[in-house]
Amino acid sequence: MTNAEIRDVILNILEGITPDDDLTTLKDDAPFREQLELDSMDFLDIVMEIRKRYRVQVPEEDYEQLASMASTVAYLEPMMKDLEKV
């Protein structure tokens, strides 16, 4: 997967978790929690959805690396580079 495809995957997951938020204005470098109405359970839902769809394990100590779109894509890119988009 390319960085753009990973970004699309994350947007798709966020769309399912926060359907009322306008994701078109999402800034890549700003934390998700500052831009969206996410609580800790929503964040866990993102992690679980990544694992369910792509079998990518994100250890709890790495959760802080998923704070923004840019950091999430950078973190996932090495793990998802050889995967097909679902």
DSSP per-residue letters across 40-62: HHHHHHHHHHHHHHH-----GGG
> What would the mean pLDDT of 13-30 be, rounded to a whole number?
94
72 in a structural domain: yes
> What would the mean pLDDT of 6-34 be, rounded to a whole number?
94
86 in a structural domain: no
Is residue 16 over pLDDT 90? yes
d(CA 14, CA 7): 10
Render pLDDT for 26-79 as a digit per residue (tens, 0 to 9): 999 999 999 998 899 999 999 999 999 999 999 999 999 999 999 999 999 999
- Please tell me the pTM assigned to this model: 0.89
Q: Provide the residue range defining the domain that includes 73.
A: 3-80
Residue among 11, 30, 31 at smallest CA distance from 21 = 11
85 in a structural domain: no
46 in a structural domain: yes
Q: How many CB atoms lie within 10 A of CB 50?
A: 22
Total domains in the fold of the chain? 1
Q: What is the pLDDT of residue 84?
A: 72
d(CA 19, CA 57): 25
Can you give the CATH number for the domain in which 32 is found?
A: 1.10.1200.10
